[in-house]
Structure 1
Amino acid sequence: MRSLIATAASAMLLVLAGCGDNPTERAATGGLGGAVIAGPAGAVVGGTIGAATAD
């Protein structure tokens, strides 16, 4: 059950990291999503993924 929750949380983090029109917005939404899912460490990871997925 824990692996299912972890997989769902990871997928949600990637989806939130893709929201936004520019790198700043994507980093912000990724950071917020990561913070909700995994706290401060998740915010850093989410922000990094958001910035990296920018066009």
Structure 2
Amino acid sequence: MNTRLVAAIFSAVTLVSTVSGCASRHTVGTVGGAALGGAAGHAISGGSTLGTVGGAAVGGVLGSEVSK
């Protein structure tokens, strides 16, 4: 597995774990979706900045909608 992908997933999980202790469910859903979307966008696009940012944006919107 790609080292950068593992680092991105680890960072996403760490971020969500940190935020979940002090934020509302909606905020955790949005941040978690953005983090996981960014990691997925990074993996799918081969590490391009546009793919990572696009994945984070889509993941944030989806996480926000799911956590309502």
Which category of TM-score, normalised to the shorter sequence, fits these structures?
A: 0.5 to 0.7
Which 4+ residue blocks in structure 1 deviate beyond 2 angstroms? none
Q: What letter matches 1:33 in structure 2?
A: L
- Deviation per CA, 1:15-52: give whole Å up to 9, x if none: xxxxx661100000100001111110000000000000
The equivalent of 1:37 in structure 2 is: 40
- How many residues align? The count is 36
Normalized against structure 2, the TM-score is what? 0.48
Q: Which residues of structure 2 form unaligned runs of 5+?
A: 1-19, 42-51
Whether 2:28 is the aligned partner of 1:25: answer yes
Distance, in Å, in 2 between the alignment partners of 1:35 and 1:26 is 14
Q: Which residues of structure 1 form unaligned runs of 5+?
A: 1-19
CA RMSD of aligned residues (A): 1.5
- Structure with higher Rg: it is 2
Given candidates 60, 64, 67, the residue that maps to 1:47 is 60
